Amino acid sequence: MPVAAAAPVAPAPLAVALDQNPGPGASADILAGKDSELGPERGALELVGGDGNMTHGYGHARLVALRGMMVTSAGVVQGELTQQSRFGYSGNYGNVSLTHDFSEDYYSTVAVGTGNSPLFPSWRVDTTGYRKFGSERQYVAGVGAYYAKGNESARADQGLLFTGIGYFTGLVMEGGVRLNWANPGTILGPSQYIAATFGNDDHRAIIVRYEHAKETYKVLPGGPELVNFKSNTASIQWRQRITRDSLLLALLEYYQSPLYDRLSLTLGWRWSFR
């Protein structure tokens, strides 16, 4: 199978539901860079920081995150620790996931996380199963589910995620639909996204992404509020190989909603261990 889409830098904070998990991922072999001309990774670290300016006097949205990846006998283990602040709140979140290949055609990812403050879920669990198709297994379909318990007594989200990935020469296409039910009220807030990766981490990868979402509850200066509006997010990410074992990461993102707009820049560095 061709080299997968590069694992993204953490996006600037966007709280569509209590969602702080990565998007759909590649199989364990791809995450470890099995097909990379530089040789497979045994592990990796990413350190990123970002700042976003929000309109209408809402100030800044900031983040710092440390991510890690390690290849084990059970599969690829990934973890993240992040600190974010916006709307007068500051919070921390940590998660760990395992991607396991059951066969050449099937793999899965299971993730758990915990956080504090209204910005993050108190705890969250995700599971997604994937199936490869095509003569070279170049197409992937995934179905996932998640549950997130908020740090406020009445807040909780649950949902389903349907994803598709296509691997082509020099290009990876990805799209998905999420159905999120937010409580209190069991309010449906669906979202759809599409992304394209040009190139790969061996040299340079450019990732463009667009998401359209119906947002339900959103953390604002007075706390979580039911907003019930639609938003759009567009981003472009640049991943540039600097040395055999290091990458420069840059992400520019624009978020638009009836309440405010936000322009964010995130910069980071990735170290590989082979």
CATH number at residue 192: 2.40.160.10
| 9 falls within a domain | no
- Residue burial 35-58, b: 16+ Cβ < 10 Å; e: rest: ebeeeebebbebebebebebeeeb
Cis peptide before 184 (omega within 30 of 0): yes
Segment holding 270, helix H or strand E = strand 261-273
Distances (CA, A) of 206 to 15, 40, 44, 67, 235: 24, 21, 20, 20, 11
Total domains in the fold of the chain: 1
- Whole domain around residue 57: which residue ranges? 28-273
User: Global pTM?
Assistant: 0.88
Tokens (6 digits) for 116? 């504090």
Task: Examine residue 98 and state whether it is found in any structural domain, yes or no.
Answer: yes
Q: Using CA atoms, how far apart are residues 120 and 201, in angstroms rounded to an integer?
A: 30
Q: Is 8 domain-assigned?
A: no
Q: Is residue 1 part of a domain?
A: no
User: What string of pLDDT tens digits covers the 274 residues of the chain?
Assistant: 444 444 333 333 333 344 444 445 666 666 666 667 888 889 999 999 999 999 999 999 999 999 999 999 999 999 999 999 999 999 999 999 999 999 999 999 999 999 998 899 999 999 999 999 999 999 999 999 999 999 887 899 999 999 999 999 999 999 999 999 999 999 999 999 999 999 988 999 999 999 999 999 888 888 788 888 999 999 999 999 999 999 999 999 999 999 999 999 999 999 999 8
Spatial distance between the Cα atoms of 107 and 142, rounded to a whole number of angstroms: 9
Task: Please report whether residue 61 resides in a domain.
Answer: yes
- Asked whether residue 18 is domain-assigned, the answer is no
Interstrand relation of 223-243 and 139-150 (parallel, antiparallel or unpaired): unpaired
Residue 19 lies in a domain: no
Strand boundaries in 116-222, DSSP class E: 121-133, 139-150, 156-168, 171-183, 187-188, 191-199, 204-220
Residue 221 lies in a domain: yes
Q: Please, where are the H alpha helices in the chain?
A: 28-31
